[in-house]
Amino acid sequence: MSQITDKLGRPLRDLRISVTDRCNFRCTYCMPRELFGPDHVFLPRSALLSYEELVRLAHAFVKLGVKKIRITGGEPLLRRDLPVLISKLTQEVGIEDISLTTNGVLLPRLAGQLKDAGLKRINVSLDSLDTDRFAAMNGQSSSPQKVIDGIDAAQSAGLSVKVNMVAKLGMNDCDILPMTEYFRERKITLRFIEFMDVGETNQWKLGEVVPAKQILDTIASRFSFKPVDPSYRGEVATRYRFDDTDCEFGIITSITNPFCGDCNRARISAEGDFYTCLFASSGISLKEKIRSGVSDDELLQFLSRIWLGRHDRYSEDRHKGVPAERKKKVEMSYIGG
């Protein structure tokens, strides 16, 4: 089947697969401890898609135009035998660009296995190098040094590393320059993410967003840089390169400069629901479909119809002040960001 496009002419290019809803962090913008405490009930193993089911879905999405797959969670490294899935996607599906988003603390144990399985790139979440502010952001679940240790392990294993920092005004905006300096010195791309209104539990307020202009002005107070042209349509981060080095940084501006018009990402939750937007209120069950005995051709047609009918543009509508029908949004921890 040839490349398909949705109602706004957007192709299907990227697939994000959440392999678990569990996480060993309790970041305030994703899984705040007050709501995801010791008594929180996560999905049982039987509710998750098996690796065989995920591989079958990946085959179908590739036929519809997907070129990149990102493994997410929750914390994906908590899923047992994750390198097995990476290997299957690489060898059986033939996807060359497979990446993974992680908080990094389990990488010292798993980085080598992931690399051997075919993983090439990882994105590590790290919101501060300061111990106290890091703890405040991630719910006192770990320490920045453990994340740095994970980054070191990933680089030693030969994985390409980028770092993601969610910036919140009044909490860690003072870390923008220290983070920039540290990762610039290490020649690791740092990407700043504007605090987003994903889900219902992170108590999002527009006044807590650090806008892209403030981030750029802060970095410009110390370094000179120039914008970099996008590598492809739908690239999430606006990229910049320092004048005196080939190191880059980027900003994901879903609040101040939404990029819905080029969004080419589909998402599969750990439970097997197909989401066409990060801010969706509900998904379409793929688990039910593939466990019903549907043929590969029927599955392909089913996925195609969903994408052809897609018209999501939540962030652009929010930015323009378009009133939205009030519906509960899916949590980032469930859909994988």
Q: What is the pLDDT of residues 61-91, one digit of tens each?
A: 999 999 999 999 999 999 999 999 999 999 9
Tell me: pLDDT of 196 over 80.
Answer: no
Share above pLDDT 70 across residues of the chain, in percent, rounded to a whole number: 91
Q: Is 101 among the domain residues?
A: yes
Q: Is 4 among the domain residues?
A: no
209: closest CA among 246, 245, 252?
252
User: What's the confidence (pLDDT) of residue 203?
Assistant: 66
270: closest CA among 43, 83, 106, 55?
43
Residues near 263 by beta carbon (within 8 Å), at least 6 away in sequence: 10, 234, 277, 312
Q: Is 272 among the domain residues?
A: yes
Length of the chain: 337
Tell me: pLDDT of 333 over 90.
Answer: no
Share above pLDDT 90 across residues of the chain, in percent, rounded to a whole number: 69
Over residues 39-58, mean pLDDT? 93
User: In this predicted structure, which of 2-16, 96-110, 309-323 has the lowest mean pLDDT?
Assistant: 309-323
DSSP helix, strand, coil percent of the chain (3-state; round to 5)? 35, 20, 45
Q: State the Cα–Cα distance between residues 248 and 98, nearest whole angstrom.
A: 21
Expressed as residue numbers, the domain containing 155 is 14-335
> What pTM was computed for the model?
0.92
Over residues 177-203, mean pLDDT? 87
Q: What is the pLDDT of residues 2-30, one digit of tens each?
A: 689 999 999 999 999 999 999 998 888 88
Over residues 128-152, mean pLDDT? 92
**Number of domains comprising the chain:** 1
Instruction: Place 139 in a pLDDT band, splitting at 50, 70 and 90.
Output: confident
Q: Is 7 among the domain residues?
A: no
Q: Is 42 among the domain residues?
A: yes
User: What's the confidence (pLDDT) of residue 1?
Assistant: 60
Q: Is 3 among the domain residues?
A: no
CATH code for the domain of 79? 3.20.20.70
Over residues 159-183, mean pLDDT? 96
User: What's the confidence (pLDDT) of residue 334?
Assistant: 66
Q: Is 9 among the domain residues?
A: no
The distance in angstroms from the start CA to the end CA of the chain is 28
Residues near 95 by beta carbon (within 8 Å), at least 6 away in sequence: 58, 62, 66, 67, 68, 69, 89
User: What's the confidence (pLDDT) of residue 248?
Assistant: 97
CA angle 212, 216, 222 (to 5 degrees): 155
Q: Is 6 among the domain residues?
A: no
